[in-house]
Chains A and B, each alone.
Chain A
Amino acid sequence: MIEVIIRVLGVVVAFLTLPLLVGQAEHKVMAHMQGRLGPMYAGAFHGWAQLIADGVKFVQKEDVTPADADRPVFRIAPVIALVPYLVALLFIPLGPRDWLVGQPIDIGLFVVLAVVGVGVVAVLMAAWSSANKYSLLGGLRAAAQLLGYELPFVLAAASVAMAAGTLSLPGIVAAWRPWWLLWQLPAMLVFFVAGLAEIRRPPFDMPIADSELVFGYMTEYTGLRFAFFLLAEYVGIVVISALTAVLFLGGWKGPLDGQLGWLWTLVKTFAVSFVVIWVRVSYPRLREDQLQRLCWLVLVPVSLGQLVLTAAVRVLA
């Protein structure tokens, strides 16, 4: 019992710190890529406390619920947005040993994919209950986008599971070999792109699209509830990056992985998060039809092709 509590506590701590690190990194990395300095004052040294200051600001703001909104649904939606990612973090292994994963289970990959898919319910709740047409449009876009990208996302993950012959996340890392980087490369690209779309990061942020829809399904949110949505976005980055690292980049594998395995997982996770930020700075937002076209005409066929390739190599080798 105590062991379970410690594990859950550890995951909660990771849940509260890693997104902040990613968020701060986003501030600074984006700024430097655009030739700015970014936050410099909060906390005196290169603005390290900027996100804490942001958090304090969010807590102080008034919590507004629109008069026409469906109150209970509107108020609970941000919480529902956070929960799936918290649950997903429970199953992602940091290292080979048992105590480095929140809950080791046999079908971890499947569970993570299942709970990440639940996030869309929260988006629909927020969109519909806000009683705002921009919110509703954003929600409908999000639903169409998430349903579509779920398919290549799951297919790409299935390819690795098939290559490793197991659904357990530690099992997949244990079976991973460096040449898989080449063999599973299409699946990795598909998984990463579909993952970006799943967490609605630019260039896949049509549901938010501030130049068209004000702020999409988050238009009516203020204060702490808005902060919850933001936090969900950053936890989403952590989850998608960690999954990419564990499934395709060999997780804890690396020099000295007997002692420093957990460090390798974290380093790879942050490297992928850096790419997520980089992509945001580099690419303009896709148009809605381009988004669906990319999903159905590029990602799905590529992931199906990868499945065939994986099966062929498994059968022949």
Chain B
Amino acid sequence: MHPVIPYLTAAALFGLGVYGVLVRRNAVLLLMSVELMLNAVNLILITSDATVRAELPASGQVFALFVIVLAAAEVGVGLALILALYRLRASVAVDRIPLSERAPVTDGIPVQRRPSGATLPVRDEVDL
């Protein structure tokens, strides 16, 4: 087994994740790119666990498990923030978020973008 193959895969995945985080404007897509980076890190951890004979057995796998748990927590909080943002401004474009607290809310709540095809009813009628 040549460990360089998964290592290079991980490097490529990490680069893709960085690219996605810098380029994407939609907050959910941003989170997906972060997941790509976390997976790259996990792949490196697992590969080195298989490659390097460490003092403690399987510590790479243990760390990968920890990272997965962290990722789950991160996504939970991140999505709560994104949905709160969407409720407030009807948009999840990260470069439109006013950074100062006093900024006026102009393009605020009542905007109902109607995407083609799958439309939800107006929010107040949504009944999950």
Contacts and interface: CB of A to CB of B under 8 A. Distances in A.
Interface stretch (A28-36, A46-54, A78-86, A133-141): A133-141
A44 B58 CA distance: 62
Nearest to A67: B117
B127 A133 contact: no
A133 B128 contact: no
Contacts of A144: 128
Range for the number of chain B residues in contact with chain A: under 10
A130 B119 CA distance: 11
Interface in A142-197: 144
A288 B121 contact: no
B128 A288 contact: yes
A288 B120 contact: no
A131 B117 contact: yes
Contacts of B127: 137, 288
Interface string B110-128: 0000001111110000111
A128 B128 contact: no
Contacts of B119: 133
A72 to B, nearest CB: 15
Interface in A79-137: 128, 130-133, 135-137
A68 interface: yes
Contacts of A133: 118-121
Contacts of A136: 118, 120
Contacts of A128: 118
A133 B119 CA distance: 6
Among B116, B119, B127, B128, the most chain A Cβ lie within 10 Å of the Cβ of B128
Interface of B: 116-121, 126-128
18 contacts: A68-B116, A69-B117, A128-B118, A130-B118, A131-B118, A133-B118, A133-B121, A135-B118, A136-B118, A136-B120, A137-B120, A137-B126, A137-B127, A137-B128, A140-B128, A141-B128, A144-B128, A288-B127
